[in-house]
Amino acid sequence: MQITWLGHSGFRIQIEDAVLLVDPWLTGNPLFPAGREDEAVSGATHILLTHAHGDHASDAGRLARQLGIKVHCIHELSEWLNGQGVETVGFGKGGTLTLNGAKVTMVHAVHSASIDFGDKGLLPAGDAAGFMIAGEGHTIYLSGDTDIMADMAWMAEYHQPDIGILACGGHYTMDMERAAWAARKWFNFRWVIPCHYKTFPILAQDATALRAGLPPGIEVIEHDVLDPIRI
Protein backbone atom coordinates (compact mmCIF):
# COMPACT_ATOMS: atom_id res chain seq x y z
CA MET A 1 0.00 0.00 0.00
CA GLN A 2 1.19 3.49 -0.79
CA ILE A 3 -0.36 6.70 0.52
CA THR A 4 0.70 10.01 -0.99
CA TRP A 5 -0.48 13.38 0.33
CA LEU A 6 -1.48 15.89 -2.35
CA GLY A 7 -1.80 18.75 0.11
CA HIS A 8 -4.80 19.86 2.17
CA SER A 9 -7.18 16.83 2.15
CA GLY A 10 -6.08 15.31 -1.13
CA PHE A 11 -4.55 11.84 -1.29
CA ARG A 12 -3.39 9.31 -3.83
CA ILE A 13 -3.89 5.85 -2.33
CA GLN A 14 -2.52 2.78 -4.11
CA ILE A 15 -4.21 -0.27 -2.61
CA GLU A 16 -4.85 -3.68 -4.14
CA ASP A 17 -5.14 -2.94 -7.88
CA ALA A 18 -6.72 0.49 -7.36
CA VAL A 19 -5.15 3.93 -7.50
CA LEU A 20 -7.60 6.18 -5.72
CA LEU A 21 -7.55 9.97 -5.91
CA VAL A 22 -9.36 11.24 -2.83
CA ASP A 23 -10.49 14.90 -2.80
CA PRO A 24 -7.83 15.83 -5.40
CA TRP A 25 -7.89 19.63 -5.16
CA LEU A 26 -4.79 20.68 -7.11
CA THR A 27 -5.69 23.93 -8.89
CA GLY A 28 -5.17 26.78 -6.44
CA ASN A 29 -4.02 24.51 -3.63
CA PRO A 30 -1.23 26.49 -1.92
CA LEU A 31 0.53 23.30 -0.85
CA PHE A 32 0.55 21.55 -4.21
CA PRO A 33 3.74 22.19 -6.23
CA ALA A 34 3.29 23.70 -9.67
CA GLY A 35 4.08 21.50 -12.63
CA ARG A 36 3.65 18.15 -10.84
CA GLU A 37 0.04 17.27 -11.61
CA ASP A 38 0.94 14.41 -13.95
CA GLU A 39 2.97 12.80 -11.18
CA ALA A 40 0.01 13.06 -8.81
CA VAL A 41 -2.70 11.67 -11.08
CA SER A 42 -0.98 9.35 -13.56
CA GLY A 43 -2.45 5.84 -13.51
CA ALA A 44 -5.40 6.76 -11.29
CA THR A 45 -8.31 4.33 -11.54
CA HIS A 46 -11.01 6.09 -9.48
CA ILE A 47 -11.80 9.43 -7.83
CA LEU A 48 -13.46 9.56 -4.40
CA LEU A 49 -15.04 12.74 -3.01
CA THR A 50 -15.97 13.22 0.63
CA HIS A 51 -18.14 16.26 -0.14
CA ALA A 52 -18.74 19.11 -2.56
CA HIS A 53 -16.72 22.03 -1.21
CA GLY A 54 -14.29 23.49 -3.72
CA ASP A 55 -11.21 22.65 -1.68
CA HIS A 56 -12.16 18.99 -2.18
CA ALA A 57 -14.23 18.66 -5.36
CA SER A 58 -13.50 21.52 -7.74
CA ASP A 59 -10.91 19.61 -9.82
CA ALA A 60 -12.75 16.28 -9.81
CA GLY A 61 -14.72 16.74 -13.02
CA ARG A 62 -11.76 18.00 -14.99
CA LEU A 63 -9.54 15.16 -13.78
CA ALA A 64 -12.19 12.50 -14.39
CA ARG A 65 -12.62 13.62 -18.00
CA GLN A 66 -8.88 13.96 -18.51
CA LEU A 67 -8.11 10.50 -17.11
CA GLY A 68 -11.19 8.73 -18.43
CA ILE A 69 -12.25 7.53 -14.96
CA LYS A 70 -15.32 7.87 -12.77
CA VAL A 71 -16.04 9.95 -9.69
CA HIS A 72 -17.50 8.06 -6.72
CA CYS A 73 -19.37 10.17 -4.20
CA ILE A 74 -22.69 10.76 -2.47
CA HIS A 75 -25.73 10.54 -4.75
CA GLU A 76 -26.69 14.22 -5.02
CA LEU A 77 -23.17 15.37 -5.84
CA SER A 78 -22.83 12.55 -8.37
CA GLU A 79 -26.02 13.70 -10.10
CA TRP A 80 -24.73 17.28 -10.33
CA LEU A 81 -21.38 16.13 -11.71
CA ASN A 82 -23.13 13.83 -14.17
CA GLY A 83 -25.02 16.87 -15.43
CA GLN A 84 -21.64 18.48 -16.12
CA GLY A 85 -20.70 15.58 -18.38
CA VAL A 86 -18.73 13.62 -15.76
CA GLU A 87 -19.10 9.84 -15.40
CA THR A 88 -20.05 9.11 -11.80
CA VAL A 89 -21.08 6.40 -9.39
CA GLY A 90 -23.34 7.73 -6.68
CA PHE A 91 -23.75 5.83 -3.44
CA GLY A 92 -24.73 6.51 0.16
CA LYS A 93 -23.61 6.04 3.74
CA GLY A 94 -23.30 2.35 4.54
CA GLY A 95 -22.81 1.52 0.88
CA THR A 96 -19.71 -0.42 -0.12
CA LEU A 97 -18.04 -0.41 -3.53
CA THR A 98 -15.36 -2.84 -4.66
CA LEU A 99 -12.87 -0.86 -6.72
CA ASN A 100 -10.18 -3.04 -8.31
CA GLY A 101 -10.05 -5.18 -5.19
CA ALA A 102 -10.25 -2.37 -2.62
CA LYS A 103 -13.47 -2.18 -0.60
CA VAL A 104 -14.66 1.39 -0.04
CA THR A 105 -17.49 2.03 2.42
CA MET A 106 -19.03 5.48 2.82
CA VAL A 107 -19.47 6.48 6.47
CA HIS A 108 -20.88 9.48 8.30
CA ALA A 109 -19.16 12.82 8.85
CA VAL A 110 -20.37 16.04 10.49
CA HIS A 111 -19.86 18.97 8.13
CA SER A 112 -21.64 21.12 5.54
CA ALA A 113 -21.57 20.02 1.91
CA SER A 114 -22.81 22.60 -0.61
CA ILE A 115 -21.16 23.25 -3.98
CA ASP A 116 -19.40 26.57 -3.32
CA PHE A 117 -17.40 26.92 -6.53
CA GLY A 118 -18.40 27.95 -10.03
CA ASP A 119 -20.72 30.82 -10.94
CA LYS A 120 -24.09 29.57 -9.66
CA GLY A 121 -23.76 30.50 -5.99
CA LEU A 122 -24.23 27.89 -3.29
CA LEU A 123 -25.89 24.70 -4.51
CA PRO A 124 -27.11 21.82 -2.33
CA ALA A 125 -25.10 18.64 -2.90
CA GLY A 126 -26.13 16.02 -0.39
CA ASP A 127 -24.14 15.42 2.77
CA ALA A 128 -20.53 15.19 3.88
CA ALA A 129 -18.99 11.76 4.37
CA GLY A 130 -15.87 9.82 5.22
CA PHE A 131 -14.62 6.49 3.91
CA MET A 132 -13.39 3.17 5.24
CA ILE A 133 -10.97 1.80 2.64
CA ALA A 134 -9.99 -1.84 3.12
CA GLY A 135 -7.37 -3.90 1.33
CA GLU A 136 -3.99 -5.61 1.65
CA GLY A 137 -4.74 -6.55 5.26
CA HIS A 138 -5.37 -2.96 6.38
CA THR A 139 -8.34 -0.65 6.81
CA ILE A 140 -7.98 3.11 6.44
CA TYR A 141 -10.44 5.44 8.16
CA LEU A 142 -10.45 8.60 6.07
CA SER A 143 -12.51 10.93 8.21
CA GLY A 144 -13.36 13.63 5.69
CA ASP A 145 -14.13 17.04 7.15
CA THR A 146 -15.73 16.37 10.52
CA ASP A 147 -15.80 17.08 14.22
CA ILE A 148 -15.80 14.40 16.89
CA MET A 149 -19.03 12.41 16.69
CA ALA A 150 -20.49 9.52 18.64
CA ASP A 151 -20.68 7.49 15.41
CA MET A 152 -16.92 7.08 15.63
CA ALA A 153 -17.48 4.52 18.41
CA TRP A 154 -19.41 2.00 16.32
CA MET A 155 -17.39 2.79 13.18
CA ALA A 156 -14.20 1.90 15.04
CA GLU A 157 -15.65 -1.28 16.50
CA TYR A 158 -17.25 -2.47 13.26
CA HIS A 159 -14.53 -1.60 10.74
CA GLN A 160 -11.46 -1.82 13.04
CA PRO A 161 -9.26 0.56 11.03
CA ASP A 162 -5.55 0.51 11.79
CA ILE A 163 -4.74 3.64 9.74
CA GLY A 164 -6.40 6.98 10.44
CA ILE A 165 -6.32 9.85 7.94
CA LEU A 166 -7.84 12.59 10.05
CA ALA A 167 -8.88 16.12 9.09
CA CYS A 168 -7.67 17.97 12.16
CA GLY A 169 -6.50 21.47 11.32
CA GLY A 170 -9.24 23.15 13.36
CA HIS A 171 -11.62 26.02 12.52
CA TYR A 172 -13.55 24.05 9.86
CA THR A 173 -12.96 20.58 11.33
CA MET A 174 -11.87 19.07 14.63
CA ASP A 175 -8.50 20.34 15.80
CA MET A 176 -5.44 18.33 16.75
CA GLU A 177 -6.47 17.94 20.41
CA ARG A 178 -9.98 16.81 19.54
CA ALA A 179 -8.69 14.36 16.92
CA ALA A 180 -6.27 12.89 19.46
CA TRP A 181 -9.09 12.52 22.01
CA ALA A 182 -11.29 10.67 19.51
CA ALA A 183 -8.42 8.47 18.37
CA ARG A 184 -7.44 7.35 21.85
CA LYS A 185 -11.03 6.94 23.08
CA TRP A 186 -12.44 4.82 20.25
CA PHE A 187 -9.84 3.71 17.76
CA ASN A 188 -6.91 1.32 17.76
CA PHE A 189 -4.79 3.01 15.11
CA ARG A 190 -1.24 1.98 14.37
CA TRP A 191 -0.64 4.96 12.11
CA VAL A 192 -2.29 8.41 12.04
CA ILE A 193 -1.88 10.82 9.13
CA PRO A 194 -3.14 14.39 9.68
CA CYS A 195 -4.71 16.42 6.88
CA HIS A 196 -6.73 19.60 6.29
CA TYR A 197 -3.91 21.51 7.97
CA LYS A 198 -1.03 23.81 6.95
CA THR A 199 -2.94 25.05 3.89
CA PHE A 200 -3.99 28.43 5.30
CA PRO A 201 -2.80 30.48 8.31
CA ILE A 202 -6.12 29.88 10.09
CA LEU A 203 -5.39 26.13 10.26
CA ALA A 204 -2.90 24.28 12.47
CA GLN A 205 0.58 24.35 10.96
CA ASP A 206 1.94 21.14 12.49
CA ALA A 207 0.75 18.03 14.31
CA THR A 208 2.59 18.57 17.60
CA ALA A 209 -0.63 18.61 19.65
CA LEU A 210 -1.96 15.51 17.89
CA ARG A 211 1.23 13.60 18.63
CA ALA A 212 1.25 14.75 22.25
CA GLY A 213 -2.35 13.62 22.77
CA LEU A 214 -1.88 10.05 21.54
CA PRO A 215 -0.55 7.13 23.59
CA PRO A 216 2.82 5.50 22.84
CA GLY A 217 2.80 3.06 19.96
CA ILE A 218 0.78 5.19 17.56
CA GLU A 219 2.95 6.66 14.83
CA VAL A 220 1.90 10.10 13.61
CA ILE A 221 3.18 10.56 10.08
CA GLU A 222 3.68 14.12 8.87
CA HIS A 223 4.95 13.79 5.34
CA ASP A 224 5.68 16.15 2.52
CA VAL A 225 3.40 16.60 -0.46
CA LEU A 226 4.08 13.93 -3.12
CA ASP A 227 6.40 12.03 -0.76
CA PRO A 228 4.78 8.57 -0.59
CA ILE A 229 4.29 6.53 2.59
CA ARG A 230 4.60 2.78 2.16
CA ILE A 231 2.77 0.57 4.64
Amino acid (1-letter code) at residue 212: A
Q: What is the pLDDT of residues 1-56, one digit of tens each?
A: 999 999 999 999 999 999 999 999 999 999 999 999 999 999 999 999 999 999 99
CA distances from 170 to 7, 62, 113, 147, 148 (A): 16, 29, 17, 9, 11
Q: List domains and CATH numbers for the chain.
A: 2-222 (3.60.15.10)
Which residues does the chain have with pLDDT short of 70?
A: none
Furthest-apart CA atoms within the chain: distance in Å = 49
Query: The pTM is what?
Result: 0.97
